[in-house]
Amino acid sequence: MQMKVEKRLLKYIAIKTPCDENSDTVPTSQCQFDLARILADELKELGLDKVVLDDKCFVYGILAATPGYENKKKLGLIAHMDTVPEFCEAEIHPVCTPDYDGCDLVLGDSGRVLTTKDFPHLKGLKGCTLITSDGNTILGVDDKAGIAEIMQLLEILITEKIPHGQISVAFTPDEECGSGAAHFDFDTFDAEVAYTLDGDGEGEIQYQNFNACEAKFEINGKNVHPGSAKDVMINAVLIAADINNMLPRFEIPRHTEQYEGFYHLLSIHGDEGHAVSEYIIRDHDSASFEARRNTLRHIEKILNELWGEGTVTLTLTDEYQNMECIIKDHMYLIDYAREACVKANVPEDISPIRGGTDGCKLSFKGLPCPNLGTGGHGYHGPLEHVTIEGMEAAVRVIVELVKIFANE
C-alpha cells in the first residue's frame, strides 16, 4: 500500500534542516545529513539503482528505464532538503485543518493569524485539508513538499508499473544559502534535462527568474566628541541612511510584483565611525538589472565626492542569472509541463520566479531545469501552508510529465 504524500511530508518536516548562512562548510549544517540518510534509505527500499549519499550531503538515485524505453530522454527531478534558518529554533508542530472554511485561521497560541487579506488565494482552498505550523516556526514545505512529491511519484511508477524512461532524482543541500548547486555532481545524476519541484501552487510552471546580486556598502566615518564636532564629524550611520534615501522609495519588495525588480535593504549596522549596509538587488530584465547596479555605483561616487574619497566603498557580488536565456532553446520542457497540467486536470500558471532556484544555476551549467509548483504558499516564515489536495495535484502533474517523456 502506497504511503500518502502528506504522510511523507509530515515525516520529513519533523526533521529540522536549517542551513547556516554564516558557515563556510559543505553542507553548511550537519543536521541536513539527518534527512539525507533517511531519503537515501527510502530510495534503496524503493529499489532505485546507484543510490548515493556523498560527503557534501547530496542524495542521488536512478530509477532504471522500463525495458524498451532505454532510449528515451533521461529525465531528472530535484528538490532541496534545507530550510531557511529563521523561525526554526523550536520544534515544528504541524497542524492539519480538515474541511478548511476559507477564512482567517488562528495559528495555535502564537498570536499569528493566516489571513485572507495577506493571502487571497485562501478563499479558494475552502473545503481542502490545510496544513500549517502552530505559528511559532516555519512549516518546512519549502522544499520538503517537493521531496515528498518526488518520492510519491517514484512509488506510483513502480507499484502501478507505468512505463517510463530513466528517472534521475537528486535531493540537495543549502539551496536557501545559494551555495548548494555549486557542488552538484552531474555525472552521478546522469540526466539530460530536469525540473526542480520548488515552486508555490500546484500547476505553477516557471522558467524566468531574477538576475541577482548582493550589494555591500562600507562607510568609514570620522568620530569626534559631539560637543566639538562642527565641520569635523562624519557620521557613518547617517550616510548609510542617506544611501537608502537615495534609492527609489517604492522599488522594494513590498511594492513590486511579477517581473518588477527591486532594491531590498537587509541590514544597517555600525556606529558613527564605521557602518555597513547590505542589500540584495533583483530584476528579471538584464538591462534593468545593470541599471540598478549602476545606480549603486553612482551613489558611491556621489558620496565620495561629498565626504572624501574612501568614505564609501561598494562591493557587488553576483549570485545568479535569469535562466530564460537557456530555457528558450528548450521550450519543449515548458510545453510538456503545460500538457501534463492539462492531462492532470490542474490549471497551469506560468509565472516568473521572484527569487532563484538550484535550477537556474544548473541550467547555466548545461542542465536545462525549469521549476514546478508543489502546492505550497507563504514560504520562509510561520505563515507557510499547503493543502493535501494541492500536493496530490502536483504529484498528478509529474506523473503525467513522466508519461509524456516516455511517449515523445
Domain count, the chain: 2
User: Do residue 154 and residue 279 come from a single domain?
Assistant: no
User: Do residue 86 and residue 96 come from a single domain?
Assistant: yes
Q: How far apart are CA 282 and CA 197, in angstroms?
A: 22
* Average of per-residue pLDDT across 229-247: 92
User: Do residue 377 and residue 265 come from a single domain?
Assistant: no
Active-site entry in 20, 175, 204, 400: 175
Active-site entry in 82, 142, 218, 348: 82
* Domain encompassing residue 296: 211-320
User: Do residue 311 and residue 335 come from a single domain?
Assistant: no
351 CB contacts (<8 Å, ≥6 apart)?
A: 204, 205, 206, 258
* Average of per-residue pLDDT across 315-319: 93
pLDDT digits over 116-175, tens only?
999 999 999 999 999 999 999 999 999 999 999 999 999 999 999 999 999 999 999 999
Q: How far apart are CA 107 and CA 89, in angstroms?
A: 17
Task: Answer yes or no: 175 catalytic.
Answer: yes
CA gyration radius, the chain: 23
User: Do residue 186 and residue 203 come from a single domain?
Assistant: yes
Task: Answer yes or no: 82 catalytic.
Answer: yes
Query: Which residue is listed with cell 557587488?
Result: 316
User: Do residue 267 and residue 348 come from a single domain?
Assistant: no
User: Do residue 125 and residue 23 come from a single domain?
Assistant: yes
Given 254, 286, 320, which residue is the final one in a domain?
320
Given 289, 320, 351, which residue is the final one in a domain?
320
Q: β-strands 376-377, 49-53: how paired? A: unpaired
Q: What is the CATH classification number for the domain harbouring 347? A: 3.40.630.10
By C-alpha distance, which of 63, 59, 8 is closest to 36? 59
User: Do residue 286 and residue 337 come from a single domain?
Assistant: no
Displacement of CA 350 from its chain's centroid (Å): 17
Q: How far apart are CA 104 and CA 116, in angstroms?
A: 6
User: Do residue 183 and residue 127 come from a single domain?
Assistant: yes
Query: What residues does 264 pair with on adjacent strands?
Result: 280
User: Do residue 139 and residue 64 come from a single domain?
Assistant: yes
- 203 pLDDT band (50/70/90 cuts)? very high
Query: Which residue is listed with cell 488565494?
Result: 121
pLDDT digits over 83-114, tens only?
999 999 899 999 999 999 999 999 999 999 99
User: Do residue 190 and residue 137 come from a single domain?
Assistant: yes
Displacement of CA 123 from its chain's centroid (Å): 25
User: Do residue 312 and residue 327 come from a single domain?
Assistant: no
Q: β-strands 312-320, 211-220: how paired? A: antiparallel
Q: For 152, list phi and psi in degrees, rounded to 5.
A: -65, -40
Given 320, 355, 372, which residue is the final one in a domain?
320
Q: How far apart are CA 378 and CA 157, in angstroms?
A: 30
Q: β-strands 49-53, 95-97: how paired? A: unpaired
How confident is the model at residue 1, as a pLDDT?
Answer: 63
